[in-house]
Chains A and B, each alone.
Chain A
Amino acid sequence: MSDLSATDVTIAELDAFEVEFSRVIAPLSDEQAIRGAQAQFLGKKGKVAEAMKVLGKLPPADRPKVGAVANRIKATIESEVARRLGELAQAAAEADLARVVDVTLPARPVPAGRLHILSQVRLEMIEIFAELGFVVADGPQIETDWHNFEALALPKDHPARDMQDTFYVSEDIVLRTHTSPVQVRTMLTQAPPIRIVAPGFVYRRDDDLTHSPMFTQIEGLAVDEGLSFADLKGVLLHFVKRFFKRDLGIRLRPSYFPFVEPGAEVDMQCVFCAGPGSACRVCKSTGWVEIGGAGMVDPDVFQHVKIDTERYTGFAFGMGIERMAMLRHDINDIKFYYEGDVRFLEQF
């Protein structure tokens, strides 16, 4: 027998790696160690590469045979690595699925502030009237006597001034008693057609369960050719239905406001009870609750702002936002609105 050829020696060496690798990898249990073992055998300077350095010295005819053995060994090692890594991944995945979190613990708080209910209601009203083409207008809260009274057909000696007990800042400057001066300011600066709503704070010397010395009104004004009382009714009816999200009726009753004629008090069907006859503290069992005043713009007002009373007609309406919020959200005392009590604010 001749000595083993260099080829046979190399093949034997390579074959031995297979067993050796199995021995090395067997105790390993993390990916990094397994990859390290893989590199030890298959890396650029690994055992297989070292063994293959002799290839160039082997007879050319043997080289393919040795190469094939090396490839087989490589494939074996790689598949062993893949198998072991797969096992590890699976074990890890199973271990992860064994994790249990107490999902009944409370949620992490996110910032939770609220808009004031009056802001929410005001924004919603603006949106409803915007659908009908009304845009928002505003004016100062400290107002001239002329804008607040005179231009609205309420001259100095008019008995109706008693209806609104006024805060005075000076002889001719008042805290506005209603949002109606915004009508005047708008008509002075804008030609018809006009369609505005003016929400804002107003002030009257009044303080009890249903009156606050400061409160919020929303005023509406439309001036155009051909506007009628029927249009006023339609706009108010649309508003009430949209705001209360119910098919409620409205009722207009003749009433007197110096700046509208014909003038009306606006009632809507009571949202609290089944109608007349049922005992209801909100509507006093009449089935109707008052929500505001309205009417056709008085020609005297048009004359103050130099609008042609023959060509144009208009209607105006005003409502208390507190009242609407009270009716919709069961708020029973107006003072809650202005106290900054978190127990109230966080409810809406």
Chain B
Amino acid sequence: MKVLWSWLLELCDLDKQPTVEEGAKALTRGGLEIEGVTDLGAGFTGVVVAEVVGKRPHPESTKLTLVDVITERGGAATQVVCGAPNVPEPGRKVLWAQVGATLPNGMTLAPKPVKGIVSPGMLCAGDELGLDDAHSGIIVLEADDPTPLGAPAQRALGLDDHLLEVNAPPNRGDVLGHLGIARELCAALRGRLVPPDANLADHLGDEGQAMTVTIADPMACPRYTARRLDGVKVGQPAGMLARRIAHRLRAVGVRSISNVVDVTNYVMFELGTPLHAFDANTLKTGEIRVSHARDGEKFTTLDKTERTLVPGDLLIRDGETGIALAGVMGGLETEVTAQTTRILLEAASFDAKTVRRTARRLGLHSEASSRFERGVDPQLAAFASARAAKLLCLVGGGTVQRTLADAYPGTSGAATATSAPAEPAVAAHAMTPGSTTVTVRVSRVAMLTGAALDAAACTDALTRLHFAVTGTGDVLEVRPPSARNDITREVDVIEEILRMVGYEQIVSTLPPLRQAPGVREPDRGDAVRQALAKAGAHEALTYAFQSAERQSHLGLTATDKRAQAIALRNPMSAEQGVMRTSLLPNLLAAVARNHSHGRPDVALFECGTVFLRRGESATDRPLTELADEQTWAAGVLAGKRATQLGTGVPYDAFDAKALAEVGIRAICGQHVAITTRASKGAVYLHPGVAGELVVDHVVVGWFGEVHPRVRARFGIEAPVFAFDLDLGKLPAAGPAKMQPIPRFPGTSRDVSLLLGTEIPAARVAEVIERANQPLVTGVRCLEDYRDGKLGAGKKSMLWSIAYRAADRTLTDAEVEAAHEAIVGSLVENLPAERR
């Protein structure tokens, strides 16, 4: 909401006039955040009001005029060269940018010869002062302009003013007009609200024709008032008042349309009540009806668009014919035009949700609809109508009929009202309490705020906001102003009290610890994150959504749940179209990005949520239940690991395996048995360099080299190694239990084997374990050697087996016996030859 500082001050009676900064601060402190203050006149300096006292053609050019101007009555005239075609006759005032003036385009004026005659500055056009794009001529002030000579041009242009950008909370429909904000400012600074003049005594015409207003659904339209004006002349704003109205509207961002429309807009910005003016000559019946549209009913709005309505939409009707879409937009047929002489002025209040739904459905958001959507005070309608009628008479020269048709079923109970004589002076009901009564306990105020506020303090705070308060003990009966539709409960009133007292007045206390905090399982993700970072990878965070295309880069089969990503209905772009089902695509994209930055060596991991469909829900159906959100950890390694000297050691699949095991051990404990087997299931991995990790007979993750085709899709040219772990599948370890420290020395024996290359190391370890020799305490592979000289399909492996007994020093003989038994089993079961 844009607020003009001069307009706001006009509605306040303050003991000491605040600066705009003080005003902004007071409003912000009270909860109306001022997001910006703009000095409207900041665009230029050194431009003054001057009067033309003489003019003659430039001797060298027919297009140029020499103009004599003065800046004080009886002062010496200065000759300025002017190229505009509209230099006025002597006696009119223009805006003279003197030597030294600065203009919005950054120019500083200096004396400048124009066709041989030096001009001390220039007479300004609108575009030169940044006011508009018009360069058809210089600005000539109206003949009745009261600005004194020599005054800054800002004053004549209404630019010695500030514009405040108010961030109005969505529940505060009452501050969408200057009056509502003035009420806040007066409350904050203990001033008095001054409602604008709405006295119609000087403008009354005859009784006029009787009119009836009928509201079919008082829930949808709590109040509707209609008033007729006669003899109005519609036209461009003329005269000081009309020009000031147009100027103020421009300042708050509204285009001037005609004197009549400008007035309705002006009152909307002044009071917050949207108004509508119908051309009364186009109305056929004397009956205004407010009722819902029929399904499929057609209606053409002001913007010349035919709309098809639904029963939820609310129409204003002339008899049966729709003439306005309530609160959203008027109809084309009844629009005020240059020919209009009689006006039917509507001031009403419509249900917020009704207006919101219609505006949304039709995509018709207007200044009016945005106000109705937050709630417009029904009690203010008659006052707004009077205020607008007065201004219409002042700028359009008409008279107001003496009667007002006012259907206000909320208070009178009647949904139909016939026009009746109205008082010329209508009370500004924004300042009077509405019909809602809220009971407030002073003890509850103190309890909730933590401040010792008594009944007097509460009453003072509320009275400043025009709340009516009765009662002096613990229980106060409070009636908020009718405009404050956000106040319905005790807690709402407590907030009002608190913001008037000032949030800063509340001390800071720490609540006592009443109970030991609950016990929660440690976060698996964080345990894994810490371990992986310690193991040398950087943690990355990437978006939980990605493009469907990127998702498909992994090449998962269609039946894989991870290929059935959950799509967003309204993504910001296709790049963020589906929820991720794997952490790898975004990590691989990060590798590519780092490569493009000239960082070939990358070790990244991410630990986060992937989103899978539950059950069998198919991809083409909307989700009907929440996603299966699983926590996974994944990592990618590309380039080299740093070494002390040299250029580093290239990462390989075993670095990925190491990180995967670190992740597993972070959850399952140091001593968990992890077995590995070659994997064919991970289609995004190189078929010959892919392993799966098994804990407790469950596959918990994969590692290996990323399939060259997959990485090529990400634009990565060098090998990448990766792992992927489903943290939810990892069995959590309990606290580690101490094992006895060995008291007797152990020993070890090596065995060298010649065996087929197809036999994996894990098989060798398994055979050793199955030999079930109780003295064995450890098995290590020392060497995996491949050479054609060993024979086709053969490799040589060197293994070391450690032996120890808990209760004695082993003899050579026992060690030999155990070792030979194991070797025998290896030779027989792998099979292998002993070398």
Q: Which of B191-199, B267-275, B325-333, B585-593 contacts A (4 or more CB under 8 A)?
A: B585-593
Contacting residues, chain B, for A222 (C-beta < 8 A): 511
Contact of A228 (CB < 8 Å), options: B356, B450, B534:
B450
Q: Contact at A230–B491, with CB atoms within 8 Å?
A: no
C-alpha gap A213/B579 in the complex (Å) = 13
**CB of B572 within 8 Å of the partner chain:** yes
Interface pair A298/B626, CB less than 8 Å apart = no
Chain A residues 114 to 160 lying within 8 A of chain B, measured CB to CB, are 114-116, 118-119, 123, 130, 132-137, 140-144, 157-160
- On whether A340 and B587 interact (CB within 8 A), knowing A111-B535, A159-B373, the answer reads yes
Are the CB atoms of A113 and B566 closer together than 8 Å?
no
Asked if B626 and A113 make an inter-chain contact with CB atoms under 8 angstroms apart, the answer reads no
Instruction: Give chain A interface residues in 208-238, CB to chain B under 8 Å.
Output: 213-214, 222, 224, 226-231, 233-235, 237-238
Contact yes or no, B508 A228, CB < 8 A: no
Q: Which of B489, B533, B579, B627 contacts A299 (CB 8 A)?
A: B489
User: Does the CB pair A254–B503 fall under 8 Å?
Assistant: yes
Q: How far, in whole Å, are A252 and B451 apart by their CA atoms in the complex?
A: 15
Let me know if B475 is at the binding interface, CB within 8 A: no
Residues 304-345 of A at the B interface (beta carbon under 8 Å): 313, 337-343, 345
Instruction: Name the contact of A115 in the complex, choosing from B492, B530, B569, B604 (C-beta under 8 A).
Output: B530
Instruction: Please tell me if A4 contacts chain B, counting CB pairs below 8 Å.
Output: no
Stretch from B23-31, B416-424, B556-564, B796-804 forming part of the interface with A: B23-31
Binding-face segment, B254-262, B287-295, B455-463, B538-546: B538-546
Are B645 and A106 neighbours in the complex by a CB distance under 8 Å?
yes
- Select one of B510, B535, B599, B627 contacting A235, CB under 8 A: B510
Contact partners of B498 in chain A: CB under 8 A: 229, 254, 262
Nearest-CB residue, chain B, relative to A112: B536
A170 within 8 A of B: yes
Cross-chain contact A233 with B506 (CB below 8 angstroms):
yes
A19 part of interface (Cβ distance < 8 Å)? no
Residues in chain B near residue A262, CB distance under 8 A? 448-449, 491, 494-495, 498-499, 503
Please report the C-alpha to C-alpha distance between residue A296 and residue B536 in the assembled complex, in whole angstroms. Answer: 44
A105 to B662, alpha carbons, bound, how many Å? 30
Decide yes or no: A313 and B503 within 8 Å by CB, A114-B538, A132-B510 being known contacts.
no
| Closest chain B residue to A222, Cβ basis | B511
B566 x A238 contact (CB < 8 A) = no
Is the Cβ of A113 less than 8 Å from the Cβ of B642? no
Cβ contact within 8 Å between B503 and A213? no
Residue contact B543 to A157, C-beta cutoff 8 Å: no
Contacts of A123 in B (CB 8 A): 526
Partner of A264, one of B353, B503, B571, B645: B503
- Does A261 interact with chain B (Cβ within 8 Å)? yes
In the complex, whether A109 has a CB less than 8 A from a CB of chain B is yes
- The verdict on B169 contacting chain A, using a C-beta distance below 8 Å, is yes
Expressed in whole angstroms, the Cα–Cα distance for A346 and B449 within the complex equals 45
Whether the pair A338, B543 counts as a contact (CB closer than 8 A) is: yes
Contact B645 A105 (CB under 8 A): yes
**A253 in contact with B517 (CB, 8 Å):** no
Within the complex, the shortest CB–CB distance from B705 to chain A, in Å, comes to 20
Say yes or no: A261-B492 contact (C-beta < 8 A), given A193-B515, A313-B448: yes
Task: Decide yes or no: A115 and B626 within 8 Å by CB, A169-B569, A341-B597 being known contacts.
Answer: no
Contact of A201 among B504, B530, B544, B643 (CB under 8 A): B544
Interchain CB contact (< 8 A) of A338 among B171, B507, B542? B542
Instruction: Report A-chain residues with C-beta under 8 Å of the C-beta of B568.
Output: 167-169, 175
Q: Is the CB of A109 within 8 A of B642?
A: yes
Q: How far is the CA of A299 from the CA of B526 in the complex (A)?
A: 35
Say how far A224's CB is from chain B's closest CB, in angstroms: 6
In the bound complex, residues from chain B placing their C-beta under 8 Å from that of A132 are 510-511, 513
Contacts of B30 in A (CB 8 A): 254
Interface: A256 (CB within 8 A)? yes
- Give the residues in chain A near B529, CB-CB below 8 Å: 115, 119
Residue A3, interface by CB 8 Å: no
- Contact residue among A115, A201, A256 (Cβ-Cβ distance under 8 Å from B539): A115
User: Assuming the A-B contacts A173-B623, A229-B449, A337-B541, are A261 and B523 also in contact, with contact meaning beta carbons closer than 8 angstroms in the complex?
Assistant: no
Residues A178-204 near B (CB distance < 8 A): 190, 193, 195, 201, 203
In the complex, which residue of chain B has the Cβ closest to the Cβ of A213?
Answer: B572
Chain A residue nearest to B499 (CB atoms) is A254
Does B644 interact with chain A (Cβ within 8 Å)? yes
Asked whether any CB of chain B lies closer than 8 Å to the CB of A207, the reply is: yes
Total interface residues on B, CB under 8 Å, equals 94
Minimal Cβ-Cβ distance residue in A for B167: A255
Contact A261 B491 (CB under 8 A): yes
B374 within 8 A of A: yes
Q: Indicate if the CB atoms of A207 and B594 lie closer than 8 Å.
A: no
Cβ-based interface call for B408 (8 A): no
Q: Which residue of A lies closest to B515 (CB)?
A: A193
A143: nearest residue on chain B (CB-CB)? B626
Contact indicator B491/A299 (Cβ below 8 Å)? yes
Residue B788 interfacial (CB < 8 Å): no
**Alpha-carbon gap, A254 to B530, bound state (A):** 40
Cα–Cα, bound, A224→B541 (Å): 36
**Residue A107 is within 8 A (CB to CB) of chain B in the complex:** yes
B566 to A142, Cβ gap below 8 A? yes
Give the shortest distance, in Å, between B806 (CB) and chain A (any CB): 35
User: Which residue of chain A has the shortest Cβ distance to B598 in the bound complex?
Assistant: A343
A292 interfacial contact with B, CB 8 Å: no
Further 18 A-B residue pairs, CB within 8 A, beyond A137-B520, A160-B170, A261-B491: A107-B644, A116-B540, A140-B627, A141-B544, A142-B623, A157-B357, A159-B352, A169-B579, A173-B623, A229-B449, A256-B170, A262-B499, A313-B447, A338-B541, A339-B590, A339-B593, A342-B602, A345-B538
The 7 closest A-B pairs by CB, nearest first: A230-B450, A111-B536, A340-B590, A254-B31, A228-B450, A256-B169, A262-B495
Using a CB–CB cutoff of 8 Å, the interface residues on chain A facing chain B are 105-109, 111-116, 118-119, 123, 130, 132-137, 140-144, 157-160, 162-163, 167-171, 173, 175, 190, 193, 195, 201, 203, 205, 207, 213-214, 222, 224, 226-231, 233-235, 237-238, 251-256, 258, 261-265, 296, 298-299, 313, 337-343, 345-346
* A–B pairs, 27, beta carbons within 8 Å: A109-B644, A111-B535, A113-B537, A114-B539, A116-B538, A116-B540, A142-B566, A142-B626, A143-B626, A170-B623, A171-B622, A193-B515, A203-B544, A205-B572, A228-B448, A229-B448, A230-B506, A235-B511, A252-B506, A254-B31, A254-B498, A255-B169, A256-B171, A338-B542, A339-B590, A340-B589, A342-B594
Question: B residues touching A (Cβ–Cβ < 8 Å)?
Answer: 28-31, 33, 169-172, 352-353, 356-357, 373-374, 447-451, 489, 491-492, 494-495, 498-499, 503-504, 506-511, 513-515, 517-518, 520, 523, 526, 529-530, 532-545, 566-572, 576, 579, 586-587, 589-590, 593-594, 597, 599, 602-606, 609, 611, 622-624, 626-627, 629, 641-645
